[in-house]
Amino acid sequence: MTAALDTIARRVRDQATALPDLFGRFDFDRPPERWAAEAEAVSELGRVKGIDRAAYLGDADLVARIREYTMLGDRAGDAYAALMPKLGFQRSVAMLVEACDKGVEAVEDAPPELVALIREMEAKPDWVDMELVEEGAAYERNATANLAPFLIRGAFIATFLNKYSALPMALTGTLGHATAARRVKETATFFATTALPGALRRFGPGFKAAAMVRLMHSMVRVNVLSRPGMWDADTYGVPIPQLDQMPAGLIPIYFLSQDVLKSGRTSFNRIERGRVELARYRCFLLGLPEDLLADTPQEIVRIWRTRSATLRYEYDDPICGGLLRATMEAELSTDPSPAGRVKRRLERSVSRVFFVKAFLNGDAERAVGVGVPVGRRDHLIYGATMLALAGRMTAYRVASRLPVLRHLADRRLVRRINRQLAGYGRAEFQSDAAHYRPATA
């Protein structure tokens, strides 16, 4: 469903009316510096070879929509997070957890803001097909159990290459190794949880994880906007706008859409549709506007590239490099066993090479410049590990097509994912304002 442009604009500007202490200082008619619609601007899309940026800037309607969404936070999540000074941090989190586990009706003295947040998440969009969502999750469990643990760090740091989207992470103390490790684990926990059977149904663990992620992002937004001198709105606009949820939530189906179009097809097959539906509904629960959640390969690519074409690009080493280095050096596992030590060594090399291949176009020199050098040994480890993982994943794919083995294989994947989640530890999905540090343009 595509919202009318004036409806989107009104929703953006109403943030100042709903939460004047946070958004009253924003001039929503004046784009921030991060907005790069001029033809000569250096944008994120400009870093990708062979793509005509002008073709995407020429789509006036979509560019206008992206412009508005650049300044949109999470209205329901922000309103609830803004109650923290009154409710207290622990009570705010506990009430949200209880609302997810038992229903908002079970929460004593539930504030209207909490009710609104839960009701928004409960309202399933007309387009969602939960059968497809479950099929997509079943397919994704193979990669989640076998491949994701080796790639999650590399995918996570891809968001740190541009200061205009990376700054909130730097502000919240993620330049420290312990915080960086926790954020990677939380990201891995969210995506692994949402791949479990029934996870995104109303009382599933994925629904609750999405609510916790929304609250965490809103806590960041509220905290940085509440503290004088913490946030440069003229440069960066709204902290963590909903538009910046797209890279994490939709990157698998963006790559999938590119592959489909390169193969000469213009539509998804059944398995691909399931993967797309899973990603779309997961993003809906996180609060992404519905008209950014396309369901065709052409539209997914068009929206993604238009966002990239209008997001100004600048690599700032204290912000971007600090985040990259802290995350690459963070210890994600404390397993002292020989197998644990071997897996840590493999994961570091695989994540580095994956990051350079997928997000730096294989540019080894640039990788050194950003603090993620990749050596010959890393490439050898990457090749051997990916070959072994490919064999294991192929075996699971074959088993998934055999009636006798299908359910046994899926149960085994679910067990592997649950072990991963236990290894990551309990995800807090919290943001401690005491560790925030100002950063300037």
Comparing 183-197, 245-259, 279-293, 320-334, the range with the smallest average pLDDT is 320-334
Averaged pLDDT score across all residues of the chain = 90
pLDDT digits (tens, 9 = 90+) for 379-438: 999 999 999 999 999 999 999 999 889 999 999 999 999 999 998 877 665 555 444 454
Token pair 């929509």: residue: 65
Position 258 confidence tier, pLDDT thresholds 50, 70, 90: very high
Sequence spans of domains, the chain: 5-145+162-179+192-314+408-435
Nearest-CA neighbor of 350 among 146, 187, 159, 174? 146
Rg (CA), the chain: 21
382 CB burial (10 A radius; 0-12, 13-18, 19+) = buried
Residue 229 phi/psi, 5-degree rounding, is 80, 5
Q: How far apart are the C-alpha atoms of 272 and 64, rounded to whole Å?
A: 30
Contact 326, 174 (CB under 8 A): yes
Comparing 92-101, 170-179, 203-212, the range with the smallest average pLDDT is 170-179
pLDDT for 172 equals 67
Q: How far apart are the C-alpha atoms of 365 and 356, rounded to whole Å?
A: 10
Q: What is the DSSP string of 33-78?
A: TTB--STT--BSGGGSTT--HHHHHT-HHHHHHHHHHTT---HHHH
Please check the confidence at residue 439 and state whether its pLDDT lies above 50: no
pLDDT for 173 equals 60
Q: What is the DSSP string of 394-417?
A: HHHHHHHTSHHHHHHHHHHHHHHH
Residue 252 CA, distance from chain mean position: 11
Q: Map residue 263 onto helix, strand or coil.
A: coil
pLDDT for 141 equals 97
Q: Map residue 311 onto helix, strand or coil.
A: strand
Position 96 confidence tier, pLDDT thresholds 50, 70, 90: very high
pLDDT for 429 equals 56
pLDDT for 303 equals 96
* pTM of the entire predicted model: 0.91
Contact 329, 373 (CB under 8 A): no
pLDDT digits (tens, 9 = 90+) for 103-134: 999 999 999 999 999 999 999 999 999 999 99
Q: How far apart are the C-alpha atoms of 385 and 342, rounded to whole Å?
A: 11
Q: How far apart are the C-alpha atoms of 389 and 383, rounded to whole Å?
A: 10
Q: Map residue 242 onto helix, strand or coil.
A: helix
